[in-house]
Amino acid sequence: MPWRLLPTMPSICHPLMNPPPELDTAMEHTLPALPFAIDALAPHYSKETLEFHHGKHHNAYVVNLNNLQKGTDFESMTLEEIVRKSSGGIYNNSAQIWNHTFFWNCMKPAGGGEPSGALAAAINSKWGSYTAFKEAFVKSAVGNFGSGWTWLVKKPDGTVDIVNMGAAGTPLTTSDTALLTVDVWEHAYYIDYRNMRPKFVETFLDKLANWSFAEKNFS
């Protein structure tokens, strides 16, 4: 939670007394809780995977960022500000914190299916059908070389597109709006799917995708 200055009582310090020390505005980042129970996505995404992916990998980015930002201007910035203004290790760790938190919200128990409303209309306008979109998304995610993220984004003109980004890439640094993402770093799926990335991405769309979250982002 961002640091907030609590209301204070009027000062009653004697003029000759030392003034109170300046308040520390440094923000310590914490690991966001999962938006579902740790076993709620099983069998499609196991408790063991989340124990490692959320509890160890995601948490490591939080620990790293807190260490790297010490003594810098980034200590007083929000996470999104850090992502947009930083580079190097600070960028990599802050972006990965944001990306993973977004990714958890892209999944839900009994998810999958198809979007509705304005987002569905935008997908149909771009690809002709949800089936065609699904084929394009899976192909893009499977072809995203190495480690990274495959995003469904809203462009500034209101259309939608599929964008591959490597490593810690995030739409926060572009003019696009993130709608939905799948993490294609191997640690995201190797426990449950081994090297079968296509099966993981297909299962993500069929059984896990939180389209209501994506619809809210689109609107």
CA angle (44 as vertex; 43, 47 as ends), nearest 5 = 60
pLDDT of residue 27: 86
CA angle (199 as vertex; 177, 196 as ends), nearest 5 = 110
Q: Which two tokens stand for residue 28?
A: 């310590």
CA angle (32 as vertex; 26, 33 as ends), nearest 5 = 145
CA angle (164 as vertex; 160, 167 as ends), nearest 5 = 140
* Average pLDDT value for the chain: 91
**What are the phi and psi torsion angles at 132 (to 5°)?**
-65, -40
21 pLDDT more than 70: no
26 pLDDT more than 60: yes
| Order of strands across the sheet that contains 148-154 | 160-166, 148-154, 177-183
Which of 2-6, 120-124, 176-180, 195-199 bottoms out in mean pLDDT, i.e. has the lowest?
2-6
Q: Which two tokens stand for residue 73?
A: 């201007």
pTM above 0.75, yes or no: yes
